Amino acid sequence: MPARGDHDARRRDVSAAVWRVLAADGFGGLTLRAVAAEMGSSTGLLTHYFPNKKALLAHALDLAEERTLAGRTTPAGRGLAALRELLADVLPISAEAVEMNRVWVSSWDAALADADLGERETGRYERFRTLRLRPFVKQAVELGELPADADPDDITTMLAGFAHGLVVQVLFDPVRYPPARQLAMLDRMLAGLSA
């Protein structure tokens, strides 16, 4: 039996290979065979970590969430300024953000096709709305930056929908939506909410 450190190191190697396959080919190209080829090993080695494709997909979603959370920071601003920071962090305005968004968008098919994976994704998006965005929407209302009668849940959903919708547009047509245009559109969206 290998030492625990060897097992942990191998698991990190496997996770790194999973990420490289995801970044290159998305969830559609994520197979045990593709990960094994990326590692230069056999699929038999991978079955110690993933007994089937669903386990591999679940690990890939966990890995994407870990990488997303590791890259997040606490906004420096308050209210609308904080929301701008949070939403700008979602947009594909850097090479790393493009890669991350390509991975997430490619995961939707797998999550929509499998109830368990779909439930996990529903929870992830719910946490994004309620834990990341909603507190700052409420703060913007309290600061008078948004109308007093604004519904925080509706505003939160609109902002999340705007950001994720723009992500899709950018991934398919990056020339039309360079980073400066994405941020300008975000600014117009937020200004429109405060009007």
Task: Return the domain boundaries, the chain.
Answer: 4-64, 74-194
In this predicted structure, the answer to whether residue 19 has a pLDDT above a threshold of 70 is yes
Angle at 146 between CA 80 and CA 181, to 5 degrees: 45
CATH class name, domain 74-194: mainly alpha
Task: Give 106's Cβ-side CA count (13 Å radius).
Answer: 22
Mean pLDDT of 135-146: 97
Considering only CA atoms, which of 160, 154, 133 is closest in space to residue 75?
A: 133
115 exposure class (CB count in 10 Å sphere: 0-12, 13-18, 19+): exposed
User: Among 96-100, 128-132, 176-180, where is mean pLDDT lowest?
Assistant: 96-100
Question: pLDDT digit string (tens) for 49-103?
Answer: 888 888 888 888 888 888 888 888 889 999 999 999 999 999 999 999 999 899 8
pTM of the model: 0.85
Distance CA 63, CA 130 (A): 22
**Beta-carbon contacts of residue 121 (< 8 Å; ≥ 6 apart):** 61, 107, 108, 111
In this predicted structure, the answer to whether residue 156 has a pLDDT above a threshold of 90 is yes
Considering only CA atoms, which of 54, 55, 56, 51 is closest in space to residue 35?
A: 56
Its CATH architecture, for the domain 4-64, is Orthogonal Bundle (1.10)
Crossing angle of helices 95-113 and 79-90, rounded to 10°: 80
Distance CA 122, CA 134 (A): 16
Contact 146, 195 (CB under 8 A): no
Distance CA 128, CA 122 (A): 10
